[in-house]
Structure 1
Amino acid sequence: MFQAGGLVVFCGLLAQSTVQLEALPLTVGQTLPLPLTPALVPSPTDLVGSLTSTLSSGLLSEGLLGTLGNLPLLDILKPGGNTPRGLLGDLLGKLPSAIPLLNNVIDLKITDPQLLELGLGQSRDGHRLYVTIPLGMVLNVKTPVVGSLLKLAVKLNITAELLTVKDKQEKMHLVLGDCTHSPGSLQVSVLDGLGSLPTQGLLDSITGILNNVLPELVQGKVCPLVNEAISHLDVTLVPSIVNALTRGLEFVIKV
């Protein structure tokens, strides 16, 4: 039994099962036990950095970069290939110049996939978060028309909605809501090879194809990874986020 009325200093595992300490002064390196008070909930300001950094790490550990680097763009664009219905839609009708391009793509490789810095937004009622996931990659396109390798820098944002739901046991959970590509966020710029293009029309055709195909393709591959990353968030972080969203606290938004 520990004797009351004195300062109790716990110095680790004791060799004997029972030791009495009597009003011993604290020595260097020793501290008193913390009072049993409820843990402080991190402020929304602190949660922003923790959430975005943890999600970034989670997406990378889920193989995001490998997924981007292995997008089956060439298979989709090849006529007669395994083109998912609806991906191209009426692309050929809208872009007649795309027909010879699709027929003559020799090679298309994705290199240098990147996950850029995540952004965070919040709904007006304070009960939902919107995570902006900016992705980057380089497309290496080779066609007989170009005659050499055309390198394009591509950037695209995926937006993931985070919200709280209550299960049958009345417990609140953080889950993924809508997950989609941000309209108009696709950016395509030429890194190398523009001088070999006979007309600007060919570049416009390539950009048109990417606008019709790439966002939905990336969304379909990346959103499941976002869901996995959310499901593996730190167990100490999730309750704080759930508490803040349930109460509608304002997060400090990172622009």
Structure 2
Amino acid sequence: MFQIGSLTIFCGLLAQTSAQLQGLPLPIGQGLPLPGAPALPSNPTNLVANFKSGLSNGLLSGGLLDILGNLPLLDTLKSGDGNSGGLLGGLLGKLTSSIPLLNSIIDIEITDPQLLELGYVKSPKGHRLYVTIPLGLRLQVNTLTVGSVLELDVKLNITVEILAVRDNQGKVHLVLGDCTHSPGSLHITLQNGVAPLPLQGLLDALTGVLNEVIPELVQEKVCPLVNEVLSHLDVTLVHDIAEALLGQQEFVIKV
């Protein structure tokens, strides 16, 4: 028979061994969640920071700066006869036909494209996250007048609506809703102060056209990239953001 004294000694040895093992590192593969077990939710205060980082990095690695640096501004202006088609082509056809000053532009060089600090606002009723994507670039406009160059600083916000949805299997996803330029967010300023008098008329004509052209071009190029980036975000991050928007965990936005 198993003696009580032996049981006491065995339990004592087991307790001593367990205490010693507590100070040792776990072997590889131990201490990890079991297959199929739900991942631990990320810190809610870090959700927006992580999402911001993932979206920003995705936009940059996806070629956002190259897209901004290669906007076909000059080609669009030169196609102002309306042959470019669509709303943009019709608009330019009307504007350039009445502004012959634009014909003196021989080149528009785009430099210093930038992705600035992203902003976030959650809708009051939840389920939606509005992301502001502020963009910047500089234009160097060369004209037929020798030595006359206009240097313009351009800022524009693209606003993206992101929705959380749940499919028939109960899985949550982030879906791109509206993606458009923010009304009134386009700012075009002259870098070198005041334009020379001979170029003032050209500057006024050019900014008038660019105010219509740039938002449409940027929106057309950037919105598909945003949709692509969302589809390649980290699965765990997407799950946490979606669950937060669906109201199943705390969602904190730090300003």
- Describe how 1:1-80 pairs up with structure 2 within 5 A: 6=14, 23=18, 25-26=20-21, 30-31=25-26, 34=31, 39-79=39-79, 80=81
- Cα distance in 2 for partners of 1:222, 1:109 equals 19
SS of the residue 1:142 aligns to:
strand
Question: Which position in structure 2 is the counterpart of 1:103?
Answer: 103
- Cα distance in 2 for partners of 1:171, 1:210 equals 43
Bigger Rg, structure 1 or 2: 2
Long gaps (5+) in structure 2: 1-10
Question: Which position in structure 2 is the counterpart of 1:153?
Answer: 153
- Cα distance in 2 for partners of 1:198, 1:70 equals 29
The amino acid of 1:122's aligned partner reads: K
Cα deviation code 1:96-147 (max 9, x no counterpart): 76x2233221001111111111111111112100111000001111122585
Long gaps (5+) in structure 1: 9-21
The 8 Å contact of residues 153 and 190 in structure 2, kept in 1 or not, is answered as yes
Question: Cα–Cα, structure 1 residues 6 and 135, in superposed 2: closer, same or farther, change >3 Å?
Answer: farther
Question: Which position in structure 1 is the counterpart of 2:242?
Answer: 242
SS of the residue 1:55 aligns to:
helix
- Cα distance in 1 for partners of 2:203, 2:254 equals 34
Cα deviation code 1:60-79 (max 9, x no counterpart): 11111111111111111004
> Are 2:81 and 1:86 aligned?
no
- Describe how 1:137-216 pairs up with structure 2 within 5 A: 137-144=137-144, 147-192=147-192, 194-198=194-198, 200-216=200-216
Question: Which position in structure 2 is the counterpart of 1:132?
Answer: 132
Cα deviation code 1:230-255 (max 9, x no counterpart): 11111111111111111176643354
Question: Which position in structure 2 is the counterpart of 1:118?
Answer: 118
SS of the residue 2:152 aligns to:
strand
SS of the residue 1:131 aligns to:
strand
- Equivalent residues, number: 239
- Cα distance in 1 for partners of 2:221, 2:185 equals 17
Q: Could you tell me the percent identity over the aligned residues?
A: 59
- Cα distance in 1 for partners of 2:32, 2:73 equals 59
Q: CA RMSD in A?
A: 3.2
Question: Which position in structure 2 is the counterpart of 1:14?
Answer: none
Cα deviation code 1:26-78 (max 9, x no counterpart): 38652596496965423442101000111000001111111111111111100
Question: Cα–Cα, structure 1 residues 67 and 38, in superposed 2: closer, same or farther, change >3 Å?
Answer: closer
SS of the residue 1:236 aligns to:
helix
Q: TM-score under structure 2 normalisation?
A: 0.81
Q: Identify the range of structure 1 (23-32 vs 147-156) with the bigger mean alpha-carbon deviation.
A: 23-32
Q: Which has a greater percent of helix?
A: 2
SS of the residue 1:224 aligns to:
helix
Q: TM-score under structure 1 normalisation?
A: 0.81
Question: Which position in structure 1 is the counterpart of 2:222?
Answer: 222
SS of the residue 1:220 aligns to:
helix
